[in-house]
């Protein structure tokens, strides 16, 4: 029985919204390759989110396919208030006043939902509105008013976001509202939480400590979208379970021309730490309305995979787009093609080669040595599958980060590890269940199309050795035609 679903190794995260929450559409998304369903808590209410969670679980069970759920927390997003008529236009060169007073907004006076704004900015600093498309320069501050000049104008809608790239804000990444969403998510069994506007490791510690008061150890995805996050990336990556390169706000917080390099650096750091990394924002943005992506978008997705990303994410494309399933299917096609050509991209300077050299130069742990030997065996013997019984997911991730050509089939001891590995590239997580013997594993791999008859595969195990304790071992299992 060969699995009928797509077999791209790069994981696909789809944002669920009005365009995709119907059960029939969710089923089509899973068939098209969705591995993780993202719920954006910045939109909708808890009743709707609870219904979406229930529907996703039903679809996962009916299709026999693991689908993890990511709850994306809003974080301390700074927004403008309500504008008269819902919109206005800011013209270049005009003066505009941002105010913390309760007023109805116009093109000359815009309310802001951030009481500390007058104390957070200085004359000469920049303020961006509407995802960076509008730029203001602070001229002076008078009480609750910030007088600005419009440097780059444009249309503005009520409640749009604001970015302060030159200011140093002491905002916690987790607001009281976020903590409420975490409590809701724990109650609903959400598998992972996206923490927005992370600044340092202390932000991760706060949400973990809160979750423990609810009796839960949560899986945290740090969204890298602030200048401080880039600066503190190493400590953040060490503290979290996964990373998201959130290029939307990141491209406003730092010069947009720096985003490609920062993306590569963050992905490499996550790979070295064996933490899964998601690349997000505008991956196939044009497919929100169109049935085909631009050439630049297809190239962007492929390059993120060449960079070493574990997962790619769709936002508006699947949440409110006209063609959500088509967009997911296209992402699967691009990923499959990129993976097939990855080993031919500038041989010797690819991300896996960089990781291997870094491990060899910095000293190896037992698991690192094991993962390197697994990859070498895959290359030398043409192995197409590695089976890894997994209690924590670490060994599977350490092999996965080297982006070998073989599948890593993780035989998971619990549901939390099963869902967590849904983010790791090249890892196919399954419940270990009754797969206790080599014969059971061989039958499963063959029945699901991972190995052919008499084809060798690698089995990584933890075995108890007298006087030595528990040891990790690698076995190459092969059969001749005689069986």
**Angle, helices 295-307/259-272, rounded to nearest 10 degrees:** 30
Measure CA 403 to chain center.
Answer: 17
Buried b (16+ CB within 10 A) or exposed e, 423-440: bbbbbbbbebeebeeeee
**Angle, helices 351-362/366-381, rounded to nearest 10 degrees:** 140
Which phi and psi angles does 93 have, rounded to 5°? 90, -20
Distance CA 25, CA 31 (A): 10
Q: Is position 223 annotated as part of the catalytic site?
A: yes
**HSE-up of residue 243 (Cα within 13 Å, Cβ side):** 35
Distance CA 367, CA 395 (A): 7
Contact 160, 80 (CB under 8 A): yes
Instruction: Give the active site residue among 27, 38, 264, 384.
Output: 38
Distance CA 458, CA 379 (A): 12
Give residues with Cβ within 8 angstroms of 207, minimum separation 6: 173, 174, 178, 179, 182, 193, 195, 218, 220
Instruction: Give the active site residue among 55, 66, 99, 281.
Output: 281
DSSP states along 50-70:
HHHHHHHHHHHHHHT---EEE
Q: Is position 79 annotated as part of the catalytic site?
A: yes
Distance CA 3, CA 14 (A): 21
Instruction: Give the active site residue among 79, 227, 333, 367.
Output: 79
Q: What is the DSSP letter of 414?
A: S
Q: Is position 38 annotated as part of the catalytic site?
A: yes
The enclosing H or E element of 296 equals: helix 295-307
Contact 153, 89 (CB under 8 A): yes
Contact 40, 49 (CB under 8 A): no
Instruction: Give the active site residue among 9, 11, 223, 403.
Output: 223
Active site members = 38, 79, 223, 281
């Amino acid at each position: 029985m060969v699995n009928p679903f797509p077999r791209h190794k790069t994981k696909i995260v789809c944002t669920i919204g009005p365009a995709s929450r119907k059960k029939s559409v969710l089923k089509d998304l899973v068939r098209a390759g969705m591995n993780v369903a993202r719920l954006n808590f910045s939109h909708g209410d808890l009743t709707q989110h609870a219904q979406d969670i229930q529907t996703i679980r039903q679809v996962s069970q009916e299709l026999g396919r693991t689908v993890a759920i990511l709850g994306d927390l809003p974080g301390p997003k700074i927004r403008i208030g309500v504008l008269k008529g819902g919109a206005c236009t800011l013209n270049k060169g005009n003066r505009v006043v941002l105010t913390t007073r309760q007023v109805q907004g116009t093109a000359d006076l815009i309310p802001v939902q951030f009481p500390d704004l007058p104390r957070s900015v200085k004359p000469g600093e920049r303020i961006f509105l509407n995802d960076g498309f509008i730029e203001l320069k602070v001229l002076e501050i008078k009480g609750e008013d910030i007088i600005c000049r419009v440097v780059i104008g444009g249309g503005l809608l009520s409640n749009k976001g604001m970015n302060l790239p030159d200011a140093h804000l002491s905002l916690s990444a987790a607001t009281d509202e976020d903590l409420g969403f975490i409590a809701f998510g724990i109650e609903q069994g959400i598998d992972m939480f996206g923490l927005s506007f992370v600044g340092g490791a202390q932000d991760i510690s706060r949400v973990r400590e809160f979750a423990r008061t609810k009796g839960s150890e949560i899986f945290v995805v740090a969204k890298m979208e602030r200048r401080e996050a880039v600066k503190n990336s190493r400590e953040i990556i060490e503290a979290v379970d996964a990373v998201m390169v959130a290029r939307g706000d990141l491209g406003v917080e730092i010069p947009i021309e720096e985003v490609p390099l920062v993306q590569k650096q963050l992905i490499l750091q996550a790979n070295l730490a064996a933490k899964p990394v998601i690349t997000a924002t505008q991956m196939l943005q044009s497919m929100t309305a169109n049935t085909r992506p631009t050439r630049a978008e297809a190239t962007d997705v492929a390059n993120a995979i060449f960079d070493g990303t574990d997962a790619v994410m769709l936002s508006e494309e699947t949440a409110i787009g006209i063609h959500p399933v088509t967009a997911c299917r296209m992402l699967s096609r691009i990923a499959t093609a990129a993976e097939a050509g990855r080993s031919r991209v500038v041989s010797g300077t690819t991300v896996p080669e960089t990781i291997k050299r870094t491990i060899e130069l910095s000293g190896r742990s037992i698991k690192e040595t094991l993962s390197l030997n697994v990859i070498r065996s895959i290359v030398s013997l043409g192995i197409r599958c590695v089976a890894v019984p997994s209690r924590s997911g670490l060994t599977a991730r350490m092999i996965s980060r080297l982006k070998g050509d073989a599948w890593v089939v993780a035989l998971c001891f619990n549901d939390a590890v099963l869902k967590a590995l849904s983010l790791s590239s090249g890892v196919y997580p399954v419940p270990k269940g009754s797969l206790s013997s080599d014969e059971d594993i061989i039958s499963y791999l063959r029945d699901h199309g991972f190995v052919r008859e008499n084809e060798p595969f690698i089995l990584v195990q933890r075995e108890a050795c007298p006087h030595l304790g528990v040891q990790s071992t690698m076995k190459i299992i092969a059969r001749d035609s005689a069986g």
